[in-house]
Amino acid sequence: MKLENEFTVDASMDEAWNAMLDLEKVTPCLPGAQLTEQAGDEYKGTMTVKMGPVTQKYNGTVKVEEADESAHRAVIRADGKDARGQGTASATITSTLHDGGNGSVRVHVETDMQLTGKVAQFGRGMHKEVAAKIMDRFSDCLEKELF
């Protein structure tokens, strides 16, 4: 399933670019996410997602797979397994930064997500709604905490 979101932060392009690649600073802004350890360029962590009446906690990894500074495009890969063995989640998140004018940066995020288990039973509409809420909280936090 593919999801698209967009938000704007009041920051310079360099500030926004550096922040987006700093997984230790960015992760706390993602509701339900927590890093637990770093192993080279990969991080281990947890992510708790509530979708309708179902809450799932995933244990997994996240890493920056690609960082093209000239295009201001970053690709982050996350993979997780439900802590109770009841499903998996994986996502390839491509963020592209654009000049938003007036000292702001527009962040376009494309997420290609695969879910199995209980949360997969909910339709695309529910997935999009939950993703939109997460991205709204993420962008608000990112702007307040990092800039």
How would residue 49 be classed by pLDDT, with cut points 50, 70 and 90? confident
Give the domain CATH number at 49. 3.30.530.20
**C-alpha to C-alpha distances, 23 to 17, 37, 62, 93, nearest whole angstrom:** 12, 12, 9, 13
Burial 25-50 (b: 16+ CB within 10 A, else e): ebbebbbebeeeeeeeeebebebebe
Structural domain of 122: 2-146
Encoding tokens for residue 54? 């179902």
How would residue 28 be classed by pLDDT, with cut points 50, 70 and 90? confident
Per-residue pLDDT of 123-146, as tens digits, reads: 778 877 887 788 778 877 877 765
Question: How far apart, in whole angstroms, are the C-alpha atoms of residue 118 and residue 115?
Answer: 9
Domain count, the chain: 1
Spatial contact of 44 and 61, defined as CB atoms under 8 Å apart: yes
Q: How many other C-beta atoms lie within 10 A of the C-beta of residue 114?
A: 12
Q: What is the arithmetic mean of pLDDT over 7-11?
A: 88
